[in-house]
């Protein structure tokens, strides 16, 4: 049975809601659709203050997207240490960092051609 296709806008809204529910910080949406040879349409990047909060953000996103959209990530990686968790929803990849790890890798700078939308949720 084929998986029901979830609308990107609905999925983005669910992911943002999941981040905001547990007070995730510095939410950026990188629109990669205009860039050739990208692996997805969007990156959503945010950070938490500790490994506990990073994992809480991940669980909140999974709970809300599952409940509201009946969708689940294709793959989740990094929950063991909670410093950088990647959630792959195929068309949207979510990166949840601890602040110091996000600053170190600065993945936004690697996608300089992407249109970046910042969501104002600094707690």
Confirm or reject CATH 2.40.110.10 for domain 8-107, answering yes or no: no
30 contacts 91 by C-beta, under 8 angstroms: no
Residue ranges of the domains in the chain?
Answer: 8-107
pLDDT in tens, 15-54: 999 999 999 999 999 999 999 889 899 999 999 999 999 9
Phi, psi of 60 (to 5 degrees): -65, -45
pTM of the shown model = 0.91
**Predicted confidence (pLDDT) at residue 90 exceeds the cutoff of 70:** yes
Helix (H, G, I), strand (E, B) or coil at 77: strand
**Predicted confidence (pLDDT) at residue 122 exceeds the cutoff of 70:** no
93 contacts 87 by C-beta, under 8 angstroms: yes
């Amino acid at each position: 049975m084929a998986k029901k296709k979830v609308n990107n806008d609905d999925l983005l809204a669910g992911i943002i809601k999941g981040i905001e529910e547990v007070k995730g910080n510095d939410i950026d949406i990188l629109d990669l659709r205009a860039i050739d040879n990208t692996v997805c349409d969007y990156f959503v990047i945010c950070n938490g203050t500790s490994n506990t909060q990073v994992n809480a953000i991940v669980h909140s996103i999974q709970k809300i997207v599952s409940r509201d959209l009946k969708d689940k990530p294709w793959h989740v990686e990094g929950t063991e240490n909670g410093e950088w968790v990647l959630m792959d929803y195929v068309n949207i990849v979510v990166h949840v960092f601890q602040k110091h790890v996000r600053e170190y890798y600065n993945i936004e700078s690697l996608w300089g051609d992407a249109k970046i939308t910042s969501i104002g949720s600094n707690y």
